[in-house]
Chains A and B, each alone.
Chain A
Amino acid sequence: MADPGRAARTRPALRGATVLAAVGALLLVGFPLVELFAAAVSQGPATVVAAFRGTGALRAIVTTLLTGTVVTVFSVVGGTAAALVTERGAQRGRSWLRAAVLLPLVIPPFVAALSWGQAYGTAGLSDDLLGLPLPGVYGLAGVVTVLTVHAVPLVYVVAAGALASRAEPDLERAARSSGASAATAFRTVTLPLLRPAIVAGAALAFITTVNAFGVPAVLGTPAGVATVTTRIYSDLVFAADPQAFVRVLVLASGLVVLTLSVVGVADVRDALGDGLTRTGAPLGGAVSGGPRWPGALLWGYALATSVLPLLALVLVGITQAVGLAPVPANWTLGHFRAAMSGLGGPALARSVLLATVAATTVLLLGGLLAALRHRRGGKPLATMATLTFAVPGSALAVAVLLAYGPWLRDTLALILIAYLAKFWALGHRPIAGAAGRQPPELAWAARVSGAGPATTVRTVTIPLLLPALAGAWLVVFLFGLHEVTMSSLLYGPGSETLAVVILNLRQLGDVPVTAALAVLLTGMVLLATALLAAASRTSRRLVSRRDRA
């Protein structure tokens, strides 16, 4: 946009904002990661070899890569198929179906893992009612399955977005009326056009899977299956020997290198932002004709993989004791009371506080940058923000511990730093996106109507950004609320988050109280998600009406 006048006026402010953002990124992410790599490299090769020999850490690496690959393949197939069903099929209740497919994205992964255990594991609901536990829920099969369920919506969002950005399926229609059968049109038109989205979705699924901690911790650890992230956790938290710390450093650095190189190979910047911030349903065009059974299949899938497990978790949480039938006669709220009177209450308060402070900080920074119409530095900044989100939570936590642990060990501030480092991308994206979509004419119109720069920002720019700002706040709040990977590595006495308490209680075997807390957390998360969806709908209505005309 050639607008020399405005650029000249805002340049000092622009530079200030860029410097602020760069310093923030450096302190939050750059410095800790440098510390991590420096510490890892300073270990000699001999030390590293000695630290890994005979510990099973190598098997954890193989398991991680294998899990990542298998989950990626499954979720690409599943997510793409689901996108074709909802965006190109003739489905009644399309927007509900979309929401059903997206549901696993908003259930905290470790809660999903807990609920699968309660639904399909030994002594779970299906075992109790039908005598049919699914074999291998605790173990590699369960880990892969639940991670796949979590990754499918990631691919789905990107693929559905690519399909729905063409509201009318004119390109397929053009192929059909050029003589292509439905299958040929799919092969020669639909699929090639989806390829970039599928590649981005695959990279996203892979990164998310190898970075996952909650699911392998809940379903893998009890069965002796370790991944890199759970290995970092056990080596850092439970092991006492110095060699364990060497392993932590090397594994964390290796995980960073792996995920960042995947990000580099596939340009997932857009996908990452979409997948993580766009929980609202994409716009799409209705197409008539075609069978209805794929929709029914999707409903069945959503029911079996998300709804039933959550239901099982709720039943465990409200049934007096494990082993009793989950019927109203045996229901109680006792577990919720027990949960809140123990560690749960204070931990909940801490999680809410952490999430609120993190969300508000991210919002203020993002809003400031957007209000200053951050254009020149916008793109590198967005890339940087995305990269920090791709950095595995486990590694980031270790890095933050190395960099700031000496001063802040066992404090909430340490966890807050990790949250800000990890989540600022989540807040930055929707704000920058909405600001970028805002036609500059709107601000120009205010200026020629007599408004000064500050008044323009206050009366036009910010009001139009409000839904996006609200969305950004909520999405950071959401992730902060159920964060477990980093807080489980950084907590100390008196700084346990709710997710950490749930995880620890479960390791102690207190199943009903664990379930009660998990239900509580999930309820809050779903509530925040509903608000988020409303905010994103409003945002899209406000900002992109022009684009759709």
Chain B
Amino acid sequence: MTPALTLRDLTVAYGAEPVVRGVSLQVAPDEVVALLGPSGSGKSTLLAAVAGFIQPRDGQVLLGDKVMSGPGGSVPPEGRDVAVVFQHYALWPHLTAAETVAYPLRRRGVGAREARRAATALLARVGLSELVDRRPAELSGGQQQRVGLARALAREPSLYLFDEPTAHLDTALRASLTEELAEQRRARGAAALYATHDAAEALAVADRVVLLREGRVGQVGRPAEIYEEPADLWSASLTGPASVLGARVSEVAQAKVVLRVGEETVRVPGGTVAGLRSADGVVLVRPEWAGLGGRLPGVVRQVRYRGPYTDYRLRTPAGTVDVRGAGTPSVAVGDAVTWDLQRVWISARS
């Protein structure tokens, strides 16, 4: 099957400085790929090159089997089968919500009345049927981004480009809007490239996650792979909390790792990045891979109650380790406790 999007050795530069460096990537039809990276890693630039806002210095952009940017020239944004949901919404201040959503329809040659009818229906689908005649200034941030989403839906593209669509919304709204985006895209069955710096968001929405580091593709994988088997320390800390265990690895075999933690020998499920000599790696523990109770000694340094669970920071013979326990705090700062490991992962140092 032809991928919805193919990038071949894409390099994009502002002036002399490349921002995207030799990225190759494919997005299958109906697949959601999250681009996860810190700010400045080139996510937005990559999306702008796919949309045709900026011309790559090198490499190719293909939508379906058609070359959009390449040595042979470039297709302008209006000629590309994509829709963009912008970080800052990019709503036109002089148009109402209905006019904004009707805009792509009008450009496609739909008559004014029909476009308005369709726009009203789309706005109803994103829960804004009461607000069709409001201008952006009269809408809240969440409502504005829903209008932005409806405008993208009106385009009926094969590929959606989401450029940190929830970055400027508060936490409660973010979750619901992310749901909305995912739901609407799924209903249309189009592919999506979703840029975000929020690991939880990326893991939740994507079929596949691509880590972007200084313009280069880092680890690529299913969300669970990315989270559970980070390739290196950088990927691990980008995708969630992790402690580095000061432990000596004695053996790795058959999804089991044997460690020396202080005086104790520990044998836990886990593994290592393919091809990595365990002596060159670091032993990582996610908070939920460890818990209170067990054979290993420690002293509580910090207690953070988070509602559904509690995070404890322990000082142990293997250094500082964060462990997670269900429910309300069961021990206090200063208490001597025991703890145990349920899983570890050995990643490259960098």
Contact = CB atoms under 8 A, between A and B. Distances in A.
B248 interface: no
Given A180-B107, A193-B92, A173 B51 contact: yes
A170 B89 CA distance: 9
B309 interface: no
A178 B151 contact: yes
A289 B75 CA distance: 12
A173 B84 contact: yes
B103 A178 contact: yes
Interface stretch (B52-60, B229-237, B272-280, B284-292): B52-60
Contact of B76 (A178, A182, A192): A182
A188 B94 CA distance: 10
B88 A173 contact: no
A287 B14 CA distance: 9
A288 to B, nearest CB: 5
Nearest to B86: A170
A55 interface: no
Interface in B36-54: 48, 51-54
Interface in B79-121: 80, 82-84, 86, 88, 90-94, 103-104, 107-108
Nearest to A168: B88
Contacts of A530: none
A487 B50 CA distance: 61
Nearest to B83: A177
B230 to A, nearest CB: 31
Given A189-B92, A192-B94, A193-B93, A176 B76 contact: yes
Kindly state the interface size class of chain A when it binds its partner: 20 to 34
B78 interface: yes
B48, B77, B91 pick with most chain A CB within 10 angstroms: B77
Contact of A179 (B54, B86, B93, B108): B108
A251 to B, nearest CB: 41
Contacts of A171: 90-92
A168 B54 CA distance: 12
A175 B154 CA distance: 12
B52, B83, B90 pick with most chain A CB within 10 angstroms: B90
A176, A188, A193 pick with most chain B CB within 10 angstroms: A176
Nearest to B155: A178
B92 A173 contact: no
A479 B278 CA distance: 75
Nearest to B148: A174
A178 B105 CA distance: 8
Nearest to B15: A286
Kindly state the interface size class of chain B when it binds its partner: 20 to 34
A181 interface: yes
Contacts of B48: 173
A16 B299 CA distance: 65
Contacts of B84: 173-174, 177
A177, A193, A286, A288 pick with most chain B CB within 10 angstroms: A177
B45 to A, nearest CB: 11
A455 interface: no
A459 interface: no
A179 B104 contact: yes
Contacts of B76: 176, 181-182
A544 interface: no
B14 A286 contact: yes
B103 A175 contact: yes
Contacts of B92: 171, 174-175, 189, 192-193
A184 interface: yes
Contacts of A181: 76, 78
Nearest to A189: B92
Contacts of B103: 175, 178, 180, 188
Contact of B77 (A176, A188, A193, A288): A176
Contact of A177 (B51, B55, B93): B51
B104 to A, nearest CB: 4
Given A177-B82, A180-B78, A189-B92, A289 B107 contact: no
A170 B90 contact: yes
B53 A176 contact: yes
Contacts of B14: 286, 288
A288 B13 CA distance: 10
Nearest to B154: A178
A178 B104 contact: yes
Nearest to B101: A178
Nearest to A196: B94
Contacts of A188: 103
Nearest to A288: B54
A177 B54 contact: no
Contact of B86 (A174, A189, A289): A174
A193 B48 CA distance: 23
Interface string A139-175: 0000000000000000000000000000010110111
A177 B94 contact: no
Contact of A176 (B15, B52, B154): B52
B266 to A, nearest CB: 47
Interface in A266-310: 286-289
Contacts of B15: 286
B54 A289 contact: yes
A176 B78 CA distance: 5
Contacts of A177: 51-53, 77-78, 80, 82-84, 155
B260 to A, nearest CB: 48
Contacts of B53: 173, 176-177
A181 B77 CA distance: 8
A184 B79 CA distance: 13
Contacts of B93: 193
B262 to A, nearest CB: 46
A17 to B, nearest CB: 33
A184 B80 contact: no
Contacts of B91: 171, 174
Contacts of A193: 92-94
Contacts of B82: 177
A194 B134 CA distance: 20
A168 to B, nearest CB: 8
B51, B52, B103 pick with most chain A CB within 10 angstroms: B103
Given A193-B92, A193-B94, A178 B107 contact: yes
Contacts of A180: 78, 103, 107
Contacts of B108: 179
B161 to A, nearest CB: 8
A174 to B, nearest CB: 4
A177 B54 CA distance: 12
B48, B55, B107, B155 pick with most chain A CB within 10 angstroms: B107
Given A177-B77, A178-B104, A288 B86 contact: no
Interface of B: 14-15, 48, 51-55, 76-78, 80, 82-84, 86, 88, 90-94, 103-104, 107-108, 151, 154-155
Interface of A: 168, 170-171, 173-182, 184, 188-189, 192-193, 286-289
7 closest cross-chain pairs (CB), A and B: A179-B107, A176-B77, A178-B104, A170-B90, A174-B90, A177-B77, A177-B84
Given A174-B90, A181-B76, 17 more contacts: A170-B88, A171-B92, A173-B51, A173-B90, A174-B91, A176-B52, A176-B76, A177-B52, A177-B78, A179-B155, A181-B78, A182-B76, A188-B103, A192-B94, A287-B54, A288-B55, A289-B55
24 contacts: A171-B90, A173-B86, A173-B90, A174-B92, A175-B103, A176-B77, A177-B77, A177-B82, A177-B83, A178-B83, A178-B107, A178-B151, A178-B154, A179-B104, A179-B155, A181-B76, A181-B78, A189-B92, A193-B92, A193-B93, A286-B15, A288-B54, A288-B55, A289-B55
